[in-house]
Amino acid sequence: QKEVEQDPGPLSVPEGAIVSLNCTYSNSAFQYFMWYRQYSRKGPELLMYTYSSGNKEDGRFTAQVDKSSKYISLFIRDSQPSDSATYLCAMSINAGGTSYGKLTFGQGTILTVHP
């Protein structure tokens, strides 16, 4: 079983739709949770960074973490064609204030927003 599971999609939605992207994880030691966006032929770009259960909002994006269920989500409101990309969840352990430097990524979900 992979430590982080993410539905690879692909996911196709019309412009203006609300998009929900999800990841589940098995390692309860994960404390930091991130969402990255990766356009074709580019490196991943950090979208959201959270370290506690609950919601975090940034513009059209909302990240949700439920540590009790080991489940994280990213919601995109009013989706735009420019949101078409691969979305990757990532998680890390931070023990005693020392970072292990390692992010564990999901497989990525391919999102297409069509006009």
Interface residue list for other proteins (CB under 8 A): 32, 34, 36, 41-46, 49, 51, 88, 90, 92, 94, 99-108
Give me the least distance between CB of 105 and other proteins, in Å please: 4
Give me the least distance between CB of 115 and other proteins, in Å please: 27
Q: What angle do CA 111, 56, 69 make, to 5 degrees?
A: 80
d(CA 72, CA 21): 8
Residue 53 or 94: the one with the smaller Cβ distance to other proteins is 94
Q: Please, what is the end-to-end C-alpha distance for the chain in angstroms?
A: 37
